[in-house]
Amino acid sequence: MREALRLLRVDSRPEALTAVSRQVGWSDRHLRACFGQQVGLAPKAVARVARLQRALRLQVLGLDGAAVAASGGFHDQAHCIREFKAMTGLTPSQFAARRGGLPPGSPLDRVAGRVTSLLLPDTATD
């Protein structure tokens, strides 16, 4: 299970799931069952979260939207923006503005050195 999670963090593209199954020696069905039991999410959902986390880290490094999408495992920038908005309710630029330029590991985040949550400071008006 740890190896499957590690592999998904390295390559979280949707088409990588079959390769992950093969590399850990499980069928796709067994992989889904194990993820459901041990992680509580399907492998596709874990991959989706991993892509979002990668995009957040790349964005904080100052990469532009196209570079974030290309390096983050998205098909294109539009795909990245759609996924970002579906998962956070904000576009990448809105999310960055709400974070106020805080670096990874700020008090908003739960793991040092990483953007790990979507906690944002309260804003007076929205």
Span 62-73, pLDDT tens digits:
889 999 999 888
Quick one: pLDDT at residue 119?
A: 52
Quick one: pLDDT at residue 124?
A: 46
Does 120 have pLDDT greater than 60?
Answer: no
| pTM attached to this predicted model | 0.75
Percent of the chain with pLDDT over 70: 82
Quick one: pLDDT at residue 80?
A: 93
Cα atoms in the 13 Å half-sphere on the side-chain side of 56 = 27
**Per-residue DSSP letters for 33-59?**
HHHHHHTSS-HHHHHHHHHHHHHHHHH
Does 10 have pLDDT greater than 80?
Answer: yes
For the stretch 69-117, pLDDT in tens is: 998 889 899 999 999 888 888 888 888 887 777 766 676 666 666 665 5
